[in-house]
Structure 1
Amino acid sequence: MTMTRYLCRIATALMFFGSLFGGQTAMAKDWPTQTMRIVLPYPPGGASDVTARLLGMKMSQAWGTTVVIENRPGANGIVANELVAKSPADGYTVLMANLGPNAINPAVYGKLPYDTAKDFAPVILTTIVPLVIVTSSDSPIKNLAQLIVMAKEKPGQITFGSAGNGASNHLAGELLAAMTDVRMLHVPYKGDAPSITDVMGGQIAIALPTALAGVPHIKNGKLRALAVTSQKRIASLPDVPTVDEALGIKGYEAVSWGGLMVPRGTPVDVIAKINVEINKALKTPDVAEKLTGLGAEIVGGTPEAFDTFLRAELIKWKKVAEGAKIRLD
């Protein structure tokens, strides 16, 4: 091959790669030019749905484009996650990621049609929603320390309710048991509501609903709050201690969370553009007031911070699931 032909090939290759990456940059600059959809694994009305609709509205206003909220409940979030994982990596399909489908499912299912760490690129952690450990208002259990003493005296007899096998509050209860060296009896329900009904009626000793589900019943006097599962107290229950405070331990945290992710391979400039807009939206008074009113803590931040958080959650809940021998296959 002559030197002239060799140099021509190099020039052609450089022109190709230049046009490729230049095209990606132009895409990010002009993006979005079509409808975006936010896919979430839950039905309308819950905290994730409210969050997605608030943020979708803000993005639509900022960019002058339509943002559609697509509810795809089913199979513990597997339906929605598989759909997004297999969508084009162009930023127009966004996943409303959550603790259960994206950190607990990989720990309790042997095989999934998606891989949280490999199939998605984190965009932003939007909110954290603590759980509340509750008992009935007329229960003899007055505080969390007393509950643990009772659980030690009666191994496997103190019951705790959750929203279902493998649900976030199921594993939160197992984490509490592991960290305090007790054994409790798990009672799965189909959602927080029936577990709350049974704890109020005395059929089970405690439940661990989200703050969103539990706070109204605490405020009206039907439930007694023993502790919140976050690292710090929450504004809607300022007098209720954290688990660490109630038991004099360190490191207990079991919070539900939500965030946005996109298919892996989405251009980084597009991810950055979504991230910037969501950070702005989370700071607007109407969004902040609505989300904190639901018992959520607003987070925000960078894609890298969300990635670090997510990887720690995957490790944490895998360890809990293995210790409690929880499998859903």
Structure 2
Amino acid sequence: MSNDLFNLTRRSFGGLLGGAAGAAALGTLARPALAQSFPSRPVTLIVPFAPGGSTDLVARLVAAKMGDALGQQVIVDNRGGAGGNLGAGTVAKAAPDGYTILMGTVATHALNPALYKKISYNAETDFAPISLLVNVPNVLTVNPNFEAKTVKELIDLAKANPGKYSYASSGNGSPLHLSGELFKKLAGVDLVHIPYKGSGPALVDVIAGQVPIQFDNMPSSTEHIKAGRLRALGVTTAKRVPTFPDLPAIAETLPGYDTYSWNALFAPAGTPKEAIDRLHDAAVKAVADEAVKAKLSDFSAVVVGSGPDELATLVKTELAKWAPIVKDSGAQID
């Protein structure tokens, strides 16, 4: 081979190597750029319950701040129905691109798989966990004109009048329905369950006196309790909550009674990690915001802001916890 040909070949090969290195460098630079490009349009946050309930309240507080962090609006879309299955199923089948996410709850990811004979999604495999946002206590309330002023008085009244009194909840198989069923079992009383399509409609009838008793999430009942439109008898968590230190825990009368709800963000399974990371960071910033924390604290929601792995573990734990409770309650939905 001549020197000229050798030099030409060497230069060409070197150029190829340089081009390959440049392409690799561009690829390396492109990956962060791709991550930063999400989201390039608004994100839809599906709330699988009617407006007015605690899940809706938490979602709207968090969505606004997430939008600030993402640089794109996070739009809350209420898709109530089938105890949360409709909205959850919608997200499970959505494009896994991060633009459709779910405000999941203990109902969608722990209770419904045990309650429903047929369900359109798998709580573990059809979703990519983003973050557990808050834990939310529930509360037992009555209309202010109702005779019972304590948990013990309610139990005594119900025992003396089996089947006479009814309690409202946000729907068949909801955490609040099962809070009521657990109460009935431990107290040995017969109360009639009246299901509603969400906490909002149930609150209206309890305040109006159409139904005397309700199990509700603390967030949606807090202002009504403070205003005297409802009388709170007890919180459903094992211990009292800081925002209502004088309100007894039901467990003080019924040892072992402990139920609560939680709100968490999920994306469809297969959503790119870059999108999950961006959504997680925005969600954690949202619940860490002092104004958001103050509003959540007003109705006793406890901020968590977990990572995706912790949320995945929670779902497994909750599924195992609630399955026997649902079975013992006899609740089953076709």
Smaller-chain TM-score bracket: 0.7 to 0.9
1:59/1:136 CA distance change after superposition, 3 Å? closer
User: Helix, strand or coil: the match of 1:260?
Assistant: strand
Contact 2:54 2:217 in 1 (8 A): no
- Higher mean displacement: 208-217 or 118-127: 208-217
Aligned with 1:63 (options 70, 76, 84)? 70
Give how far 1:319 is off: 2.0
Q: Could you say which residue in structure 2 is the equivalent of 1:41?
A: 48
Aligned to 2:38, which of 27, 32, 35?
Answer: 32
Contact 2:133 2:265 in 1 (8 A): yes
Aligned length: 309
Going from structure 1 to structure 2, the CA distance change for 1:240 and 1:39 (only over 3 Å counts) comes to same
Q: Does the alignment pair 1:206 with 2:213?
A: yes
The alignment-based identity, stated in percent, is 36
Hey, what does 2:97 align to over in structure 1?
90
CA apart distance, 1:316? 3.0
SS of the residue 2:91 aligns to: helix
- Judge conservation of contact 2:51–2:200 (CA < 8 Å) in 1: no
Structure 1 window deviating more from structure 2 (106-115 vs 154-163): it is 154-163
The higher radius of gyration belongs to 2
What's the CA shift string for 1:200-249, capped at 9, x where partnerless? 566545211222332333223343211011233234422101122243x1
Quote the residue 1:239 is aligned against. Answer: 246
CA separation of 1:298/1:176 partners in 2, compared to 1, >3 Å: closer, same or farther? same
The separation in 2 between residues aligned to 1:216 and 1:222, in whole angstroms, is 9
Instruction: Report what 1:118 is aligned to.
Output: 125
Q: TM-score, normalised by structure 2?
A: 0.79
Residue in 2 that maps onto 1:159: 166
1:297 aligns with 2:319: no
What does 1:141-160 correspond to in 2, within 5 Å?
141-160=148-167
Aligned to 2:115: 108
**Helix, strand or coil at the partner of 2:68:** helix
- The answer (yes or no) to whether the contact 2:103–2:266 under 8 Å persists in 1 is yes
Q: Give the aligned partner of residue 281 of structure 2.
A: 276
Cα contact 2:66–2:74 (8 A) shared by 1:
yes
Check the 8 A contact 2:47/2:79 in 1, yes or no.
yes
8 Å Cα contact 2:53/2:200 also seen in 1:
no
Q: What is the distance in 2 between the residues matched to 1:97 and 1:308? A: 14
**What value does the CA root-mean-square deviation take over the aligned residues?**
3.1
Say which SS state the counterpart of residue 300 (structure 1) adopts.
Answer: coil
Match of 1:52 among 59, 79, 86: 59
Shift in alpha-carbon separation, 1:201–1:75, aligned structure 2, 3 A: closer
Which amino acid in structure 2 is aligned with residue 302 of structure 1?
G
Q: Is the 8 A contact 1:31 1:270 kept in 2?
A: no
Contact 2:238 2:258 (C-alpha < 8 Å) held by counterparts: yes
- Consecutive unaligned residues in structure 2, runs of 5 or more: 1-23
Query: Residues 205, 315 of structure 1: CA spacing in aligned structure 2 closer, same or farther, 3 A cutoff?
Result: farther
Show the 5 A alignment for 1:307-322.
307-322=312-327
CA contact (8 A) 1:28 1:270 kept: no
The one-letter code sitting in structure 2 at the alignment partner of 1:305 is: E
Report the 3-state secondary structure (helix = DSSP H, G, I; strand = E; otherwise coil) of the residue aligned with 1:237.
coil
Cα 1:101/1:213, change in 2 over 3 Å: same
Instruction: Tell me the CA shift for residue 58 of structure 1.
Output: 2.7
